Amino acid sequence: MSKNLVIVESPAKGKTIEKFLGKDFKVVASMGHIRDLPQKALGVDIDKGFAPDYGVSQDKKKTVTSLQSLAKTHPQIWIATDEDREGEAIGWHLCHVLKIDPTNTKRIVFHEITKTAITAAIENPRTIDMGLVDAQQARRVLDRLVGYKVSPVLWKKIRKWLSAGRVQSVAVKLIVEKEREIQNFKPVESWKIRIQLTYRHPESSGSWKGKSTIIDPVSSTGWHTFFAELTKVHGKGKKINSKEDALKLLAPLYDDLGIITEGKSKQETILLEANTELHFTLKNAEKKDANRYPGAPFTTSTLQQEASRKHGFGVKQTMMIAQKLYEGIDLGNGERQGLITYMRTDSVNLSDDAKLQAKNMIEKSFGKEYHKSRNYKTKSAGAQEAHEAIRPTSIARSPESLAAVLDAQQLKLYTLIWKRTVASQMADAVVEVTTYDFVPEKAPDQLWVSKGEVIKFDGFMKLYIEGTDEESDDEEGKGQLPEISVNAKVSGKKLQAVQTFSRPPARYTEASLVKKLESEGIGRPSTYAPTISTIIERGYIEKMNKKYLTPTDIAFTVTDFLEQYFKKMMQYDFTREVEEDFDKIATGKQSYEKMLSQFWEGSLKKDLDEAGEKAEKVVEKVGKECPKCGKDLIYRHSKTGKFIGCSGFPDCDFIDQPEDQKDELAALREKYEGKPCPDGIEGTIVVKTGRFGPFLASSEYPKVKWIGTIKSEKDEMLEEILTEQGLLVDEETGEELVVRNSRRGQFLAAKNYPKVKIAKNIPKNVWDELKTRMEKKEEE
């Protein structure tokens, strides 16, 4: 029997570690946290130094009993939970339920799950770090105080079942402020005037340095085409604010402005065009080299951002995939290996061994000139340099070598991490930037500028180019320019003056919100994904076009209320300072009790008292009078959802539905009503509303008890594809099949299933076709 019991959080992690340790070690999983604060009570004794009242949750009692039994039969226990504060706290809780002393229990940490790392950890154990435990406890208790003390105030003053959170509410505030920026934004008109120039080098029919990314630059006759834009008049930058301004600048160029035609651009703005030839002289040419630098290896937040930009992954999705890559993948032939280092980190540090592996890979694949050793410094004050960035556990393990064992999403994320890590140790890219200043013959006071770039040495760009959140207005981008000598003549015909308008600020995506949270010091790598999930699940934030985060009406109401009565809690600086206090607790520079006392006595207790006494109940006005009594109509909420009621209730009992609900019902009635009920059921279909929203019923209700569900657009499309492919009839029996739902997803089954035992999976080609149609629908 094994003497050593190693406890990890997850079975997948345990499965990988067990392969490295041999028969003398048994590895088991705690399945995450095994003790926590009670769900139905505050669970914190404020008067006794904020002492938490931990208990084993009902769903973990079986796990705890099993661990206690194993602990009795294994003389040596090892705590091998994750290396962050959360993992340290889980280890401490394990010591308590197993009744072992955390001051001498062996604690092992590792930032990658490989044989080398696990062996080194076993050889160098430590004990539980109470600084890290106290930092986690401080966060947990502080968040509990905010959630369980502030949320009831929202229930009383706004409506029931709303929630507040120390990080959650500040994240919602960011999105609300952004939406108000957009609502208050006033577009500013401006104009761009540009011309397509042509040039043919006198000594060559095709002198050209490189390949253009603008348009086809070289014709068969050696002519080059590129663009120049009007930027200065009389040596000063010129802002063009109107059509009149544009025409004034064009007047010196053309004898007759009547040749200028007016149309519409792709953006439906005014487009002025002229095709009469104009002649220009090159007055100045400047060439200079600019270096481009690779991005640092990934932290949690930069991985989340880049996975969103390049692959459209949500932050939660990214973390789930990364967790699997970290905990271990079966590579075949009985080999199981962790493929990346720990995925919750704010460090950009790489180990010397990782840098050596990258060097060997780069020199072998690209040549010595492509390698440049780099050391990256973490900007975050609370980051731990002993930890590493997210990187492959073996750089020799290329994405191509793992294509057969990783699923599509895992391969995409691993490839991203692998390329970013290797690129971080590659040479700078060198780009030659060329700027030409042209003067038109007819308007020598005007300056028209053309810019181009050519990559002289691709360096790290040979492997990886970082994504960006910015949208470019320049459709052609910066291309490459031909060699032109100063005083050379060029000509152009296709002149365009385009009206443009400044754009409102972009809404946050999950990735850009993570970037903002990090820059403001709000939360830590482990909290970004849960925070975003929480504010969406609790109805404060919705996704527009499955991408952009927009606040709901209640988000505005709650944010304004919290800003008024809980000012300090809602300040970005204060939220950042709290995170810094957690860092101090983790390093033993501040006590858990003192930090919590300062927060409670310094602001939260007083704010709670003031909100309870002074805050009036928030009323969401509709902006209309009651048709029954003339008083204000207000929005009310019940278990069945939102409705319109009279502020004079209970004297006036008028109720109505919000306009959006009326529109939804009208559309459903038009779609379903009047059609016969299915399967010969008496009556025709009518649309009714109930506790859980609209549903279908028979016109003979309540005599006929039939109730039908309203299918989503996706389910209707799925049924349509299945019908087209003849899959709603069982080939062998002729039995009619329907789509049913289960924990594992949708499947096909007989109408009378499980009485008629016919069930089968929906074929993959059906799901592929459904995805194609849904994407096409979204584009429309």
**Catalytic annotation on 528?**
no
Q: Are 301 and 528 in contact (CB under 8 A)?
A: yes
Closest CA to 86 of 147, 32, 43, 22: 32
Q: How many CB atoms neighbour CB 82 within 10 A?
A: 22
- In this structure, are residues 172 and 558 in contact, taking their beta carbons and an 8 Å threshold? yes
Which pair of structure tokens corresponds to residue 41?
């009570």
The token pair that represents 61 in the structure block:
């009692």
Instruction: Identify residue 486 by its one-letter amino acid code.
Output: V
Tally of residues, the chain: 780
Catalytic site residue from 54, 199, 342, 436: 342
Place of tokens 């400044």: 502
Concatenated DSSP letters of 238-293: ----SHHHHHHHHGGG-S-GGG-EEEE-TTSSEEEEE-S-EEEEEEEEEEEEEEE-
- Report how far residue 207's alpha carbon sits from residue 205's, in angstroms, rounded to the nearest whole number: 6
Q: How far is 294 from 171, CA to CA, in rounded Å?
A: 30
CB 646 within 8 A of CB 628: yes
For residue 770, give the nearest of 718, 716, 703 by alpha carbon. Answer: 718
Helix residue ranges per DSSP H, 27-107: 61-73, 85-97
The pair of structure tokens assigned to 424 is 């971080």
Instruction: Catalogue the long-range contacts made by 765-768 (C-beta closer than 8 Å, 24 or more residues apart).
Output: 766/718, 766/721, 766/722, 766/725, 766/727
Residue 554 and residue 162 in contact, taking contact as beta carbons nearer than 8 Å:
yes
Over 670-706, what HEC string results? HHHCCCECHHHCCCEEEEEEECCEEEEEECCCCCCCC
Q: Residue 6: what are its φ and ψ, rounded to 5°?
A: -105, 125
CB 134 within 8 A of CB 585: yes
End-to-end distance of the chain based on CA atoms, in angstroms? 65
Distance (Å, whole) CA 226 – CA 480: 8
Could you count the other beta carbons within 10 Å of the beta carbon of residue 649? 15
Looking at residue 651, its amino acid is D
The three-state secondary structure class of 57 is: coil
Beta carbons within 8 Å of 16's beta carbon, 6+ residues apart: 113, 327, 328, 336, 337, 338
Q: What share of the chain is helix, strand, coil (3-state, %, to 5)?
A: 40, 25, 40
Neighbouring-strand partners of residue 264? 270
Provide the token pair at 687: 């649309």
Q: How far apart (Å, rounded) are the C-alpha atoms in residues 694 and 245?
A: 56
**Chain centroid to CA 259: how far?**
50
Question: Residue 271 forms beta bridges with which residues?
Answer: 263, 498
Amino acid 179 reads E
Catalytic positions = 342
